[in-house]
Amino acid sequence: FPMAATDPQVLALAAQITESREQDIPLLLLKLKGILSSPSSGCEESNKIKQDIYDYGLTQYCLLVLKQDHSQLHGAWATAAQLAEILSHCCVGLEVKEDPEEFYRKFLPSVIDSLLVLGKRLQARFIRAIKDKEKQDFLHWFQIVTDAICWLFGGHIQLAPRVLQNDRFLQLLITDDVETAIVMMSVLHNILRINSFVLLQVEEETLHSVLDELVYKLSSTTNPAVGSAATKLLLLVAKSCKQLVQLFTARYKGLKGLLSKQWTGKGFDREVNQLLDLLYLEQSSGKGEMQKQHEAACVIQAAWRGFQTRKRLKKLPQAVVILQRSFRAKREQERQHLTKQKEDEALKLQMHLQRQRAMRLFHERQLALLEVVHASQVNKYMQEMEEKSALTIQRFWRGYRARRIFHEQKQSLKEYKAAVIIQRAACKFLEKRRRRRPLSPWKEPKGLTDEQRLALQQKVDDYIKLHPASQMSEERSKELHVQAQAKLAQFLLRNRLDQRAAQRREALLALVNTDVELLMNAPGLAETTEKDFGAFMSRSIPVATKARQAHNTMLKYTRWPWWKKLGDEFMEDDVIPDDAINTELETLFIGGRK
């Protein structure tokens, strides 16, 4: 710790933080706000207190707390926002004499990054918040953090380009939320007000990203607050540097039309007119062309208005007839509505009278029955009547509910079946078209030109010179030829034997499948006849049996009604569905093959 006299409050707080637990440190750091506000702002005593806070590492503690998970702090986001405000006030007005390189090049950029990260998290939670109270709280804390950022680069102007080049600042600016977008544009306005040439100090990609976002906000929103903030920012940028005005006219050619058509008469016409004057002044060379275009547009508009007026005068009698017809139709509709309303009221009155009459008859019948029924059986009789009434009401309600559900599901079921039929037909149609699609014609490769042929021949000659072939005698060549012919003959003989063995295996497998099919369909031993025994002795009988089964199945399929074959319009004429012909012809043994 430094040996010079320090503020007793700072010393006590530093000792208390050293002895406290880690989770209690954020609440203790909030006491710095009262310590900083005790002396008058800007005096020597305030700077001395900030120097003591930095020397005792309390600002580093604030930075470390801001880098932690803010949801785990006491007070959560409110504590984080207050610590951000305290940290910015501690850094402004502070003159570090010992190791200033560490403070200006490492500590201050780290503070800016932490504040921007905190602002990004608050903006995300503000957008996701549903309740109005939560949204107001997150917006208030977000404004505190942005004010802290403005206060920090206001005291250290060299931080302004770093703020603009930070990716999180661009992420905060590029948002569709109105409240946070206005706050971020006010931050950008403060940056340009403090350092008007800061946009010329950043990279070209960053400059284009900022300007693109401002122009996009003008073109994509109709909110006057967003439009006013974006217009004022563009005006400030245009006034700060003439090069940027040239960039406006070259990069955003529709900006003038957008400002004059969409944002005129929105409450900030003075700024819009100033920006338009600057843009038109930049294009003073093309002013004559613009004047000609304006006059031509006036002529076209005058001719069009005259044509529309003459056309409207010609249609005036027809319009009167249409107006009279619509008036009579409306009057007739009102008369029918009144008649229907009177009929409904008369019907309601009649139903009410009938209900009263029925209720009176019901009560008279009950009184008559009560006179007949014994007094001891009255309660039992009333209970039975209530149960019957309840059952009747429940029966009618269940019937009504079942009919309503059926009518609701009937249309959806019909639509589902129709969709299935359409999809099936479309799939069959696409499959049929895919099969009939002709193969693409073979294209002959392009030949070589004379220059390419000469270059290729030169490469071949160079390679032959670099890699000469080894000399071989005629006797050695003949010997190698005889060996190659012998090995080729052995391979062909072995290949022919393998093919015969594969054919024999396929024939045996088909024979086994046929025997298995016959055994599974064969009758029991008690019901076996000589005819069934012959089926296992001859190879032609299984073939005839399978053919007869396939023929019967095909006849049965052709006799089906039309509604059973619905959806088979795109089927080939000679194709029968597998589920219709329930036969497995691949298991037949015909001539040693499947």
Residue 575, pLDDT > 50, answer no
Q: What is the pLDDT of residue 266?
A: 78
pLDDT of the residue at 421: 93
- For residues 82 and 30, give the distance between their C-alpha atoms in angstroms, rounded to a whole number: 7
Q: How many CA atoms lie within 13 A of 370 on its CB side?
A: 10
Residue whose C-alpha is closest to residue 159's, from 87, 99, 110: 110
User: Could you tell me the pLDDT band of residue 424, with boundaries at 50, 70 and 90?
Assistant: very high
C-alpha 325: how far from chain center:
50
Domain residue limits, the chain: 8-284, 376-431, 539-586
Joined tokens for residue 110? 């780290």
C-alpha–C-alpha distance, residues 338 and 336, integer Å: 5
* Spatial contact of 243 and 200, defined as CB atoms under 8 Å apart: yes
282, pLDDT greater than 80:
no
Mean local confidence (pLDDT), 310-332: 86
Look at residue 579 and tell me whether its pLDDT is greater than 60: no
Per CATH, the homologous superfamily of domain 8-284 is Leucine-rich Repeat Variant (1.25.10.10)
Confidence of residue 56 (pLDDT cuts 50, 70, 90): confident
In this model, does residue 491 exceed pLDDT 80?
Answer: yes
pLDDT band (50, 70, 90) for residue 573? very low
Q: Among the listed ranges 145-159, 341-355, 409-423, 485-499, which one has the minimum average pLDDT value? A: 145-159
User: If DSSP codes are grouped into helix, strand and coil, which group holds residue 203?
Assistant: coil
- Asked whether the predicted pLDDT for residue 207 surpasses 70, the reply is yes
Lowest mean pLDDT among 15-24, 95-104, 379-388, 537-546: 537-546
115 has pLDDT over 90: no
Neighbours of 248 (CB within 10 A): 20
Summary mean pLDDT of the chain = 79
SS3 label, residue 40: coil
| pLDDT band, residue 380 (cuts 50/70/90) | confident
Q: What confidence score (pLDDT) does residue 167 get?
A: 83
Average pLDDT over residues 485-514: 88
Least confident of 92-96, 201-205, 565-569, 582-586: 582-586
Of 109-113, 342-346, 423-427, 523-527, the poorest mean pLDDT is in 523-527
pLDDT band at residue 334 using 50, 70 and 90 as cut-offs: very high
Reported as a single tens digit per residue, the pLDDT across 209-268 is: 888 888 888 888 888 888 888 888 888 888 877 777 777 777 777 777 888 788 888 777
| Confidence category of residue 580, pLDDT binned at 50, 70, 90 | very low
Q: Which of 424, 415, 438, 590 is nearest to 511 (CA)?
A: 590
Q: How far is the C-alpha of 381 from the C-alpha of 365, rounded, in Å?
A: 13
In this predicted structure, what is the pLDDT of residue 41? Answer: 44
- Judge whether residue 451 has pLDDT over 60: yes
Kindly state the average pLDDT of the residues 530-536. 67
Helices 474-521/540-558 angle, 10° precision: 70
